Structure 1
């Protein structure tokens, strides 16, 4: 019990200044300061900004949202395509949701894209009548950013510290892990968010004029040294202060809750073709992680039900159509954070009934060659590829 108290209540403040300065010294040499890797963090002439210099707020905003639950190397090409399509907040505010989701396709957590779109207009209203190209016109208030859809404290602070060098702390997954190991914290960090925020704030408070650099250094330390698995403690600038390292059990931290069993479901999917060779797709309702995306119709297999029966029933219930279920096209395994799915996909021939969006926004017959014009969830990419490969045999 005494050991738990000492770990939980180790005073952080006397160490904050030394930790911040040693981290920044490490980062100056080993940080990810490559314009090709983080273009939004650099001035237009390719320099890392000085403390008094501001960066493009729009670019920082989009990057921070894309990097929620997504690694840097995955998000970067999406960010580049996004900024090419929507180089100004005015362009984003007038964009169609279809185009926004199509650009986001494959990045996951599609509600982030819809929230960017819905946040553009109120943000533009705050900037007006000044031009959005004037950086000083953008809001610098944390609460203002947190009032936008999908923007929490870490994202808002990340935007402001990156763009304006505002002295604000962040607490993303990398930072939580690093701080939990540094303190050998005996509880899952998510249960002690307030305490973790205190630690992160103390680090920024020690070097307030370099908040931008410090936050980037914290994230780089977590991404390249204090990684989730096999951390490289030998090169860590905080090794001599790390309680987890001193305990000889870095892998134990951060402490995790007992993982919940992930449910498994089988989904029957129908690729429905009509006599013209068109395929039927429907658009999901604007709710949940995949809201607003298009998909091939189908649904969950009930206990004791054959998969061909599942497909027939789901298409009847959701679209009011009758189909002849044919051969299996493909089976696709896909894992989300909260469940695992197996999509069993069959080719189907439309028999009767005018398709109706009984459980979706809209339905549409489209040429298979035009499927690339619609945003689909990632799991559907393999289905589309299998369909296009199989078309010559069916014709």
Structure 2
């Protein structure tokens, strides 16, 4: 069965695979970058980032020698920024320890920052032709339907069963193409809703197809309700017409990115009171809050926020980086040079439509 599955799937893949740029290279470094960027991110989103990133850092050594801010700026908007930081750190390790050549053993490649079981299997199979099976959401959907696995895919035991099946099916020849083919099948044919079973190269052996259960397999229990937070941030302008931004700590969520200072709204607290308290705690200053500049919503992987940005005037104290790596005063033009999280980036884009003289009424008194 495994031979027929692989043969039929690979025949289909050679005919139907999408024309993706990382499929036109055998450079392990470029394949590695693509696999990291593709984690929890749509292919169409990744393509322009991949091209820009490799234009700036064409080799491991270029990336290893790059400034962290430059790396994060090129990652800006792609999300899950720890991927970019880990890729940068791992490139430094590969440059120092392996002379710029990505190691080709599971033990060594898994020891690099940001490379877990999925990434290790994908890189080793695609770049080095080694038979390690990958398991992602697309693979889970294909395997559970093909073998009729009805249990909850959130369960570790079910994921282990999927991995075992994938390892049984993967051929020793063309393992990289096989892994990409299974993922391709899940992305384009064996889709979550309305799968195109009539176009599937392995539908004849698929239990979910044979028993008309593609609508209930795979089964995934409901996730916990995603929390929502209200965030208040302050926009502070100095006598030179520059805005104050703060660098998030490297080990924090969104570490290495810049933001406008502020934080979560506490129960029973107005948003203006949130901004005053947060700027006192983060900067050691007392501020007067004036008008609201912008309100926007943004969703992260495990929570959602509504961000409220207010113009503020410092009435006492000098800003100090009490909870950030450092502070910086920047002009409207200089904002674009700094990497920001998506929510703050939306603020930046709005601010860049202003004229420097428009900021004068918000100057520190």
Same fold (TM over 0.5): yes
Matched, 1:273 2:255: no
2:31 is aligned to 60
Q: CA deviation at 1:184?
A: 2.4
Residue 55 of structure 2 aligns to a residue whose secondary structure is helix
Q: CA deviation at 1:394?
A: 4.2
Distance between the aligned counterparts of 2:203 and 2:229, measured in 1?
Answer: 44
Change (3 A) 1:328 1:147: same
Query: Which of the residues 363, 372, 385 maps onto 2:336?
Result: 372
Distance between the aligned counterparts of 1:356 and 1:251, measured in 2?
Answer: 56
Distance between the aligned counterparts of 2:247 and 2:358, measured in 1?
Answer: 28
1:252 is aligned to 216
Distance between the aligned counterparts of 1:176 and 1:29, measured in 2?
Answer: 23
Distance between the aligned counterparts of 2:331 and 2:315, measured in 1?
Answer: 18
8 Å contact 2:102–2:109 — kept in the other structure? no
**Alignment deviations for residues 289-323 of structure 1 (CA, whole Å, 9 cap, x no partner):** 41111000111111121111111111011111122
Distance between the aligned counterparts of 2:326 and 2:303, measured in 1?
Answer: 26
Moved more, 166-175 or 140-149: 166-175
Matched, 1:28 2:14: yes
**Runs (4+) off by over 3 Å:** 390-395
Q: CA deviation at 1:288?
A: 4.1
Matched, 1:100 2:54: no
Superposition pairs of residues 153-302 of structure 1, within 5 angstroms: 153-191=117-155, 192-204=158-170, 207-302=171-266
Change (3 A) 1:379 1:110: same
Residue 145 of structure 2 aligns to a residue whose secondary structure is helix
Distance between the aligned counterparts of 1:140 and 1:75, measured in 2?
Answer: 25
1:49 is aligned to none
8 Å contact 2:293–2:310 — kept in the other structure? yes
1:140 is aligned to 104
Q: CA deviation at 1:188?
A: 2.6
Residue 342 of structure 1 aligns to a residue whose secondary structure is strand
8 Å contact 1:268–1:308 — kept in the other structure? yes
8 Å contact 2:154–2:220 — kept in the other structure? no
Q: CA deviation at 1:251?
A: 2.1
2:363 is aligned to none
**Alignment deviations for residues 184-213 of structure 1 (CA, whole Å, 9 cap, x no partner):** 212233422221111111111xx3111121
**Alignment deviations for residues 95-123 of structure 1 (CA, whole Å, 9 cap, x no partner):** 11111111100011111111111111222
Change (3 A) 1:105 1:138: closer
Matched, 1:89 2:60: yes
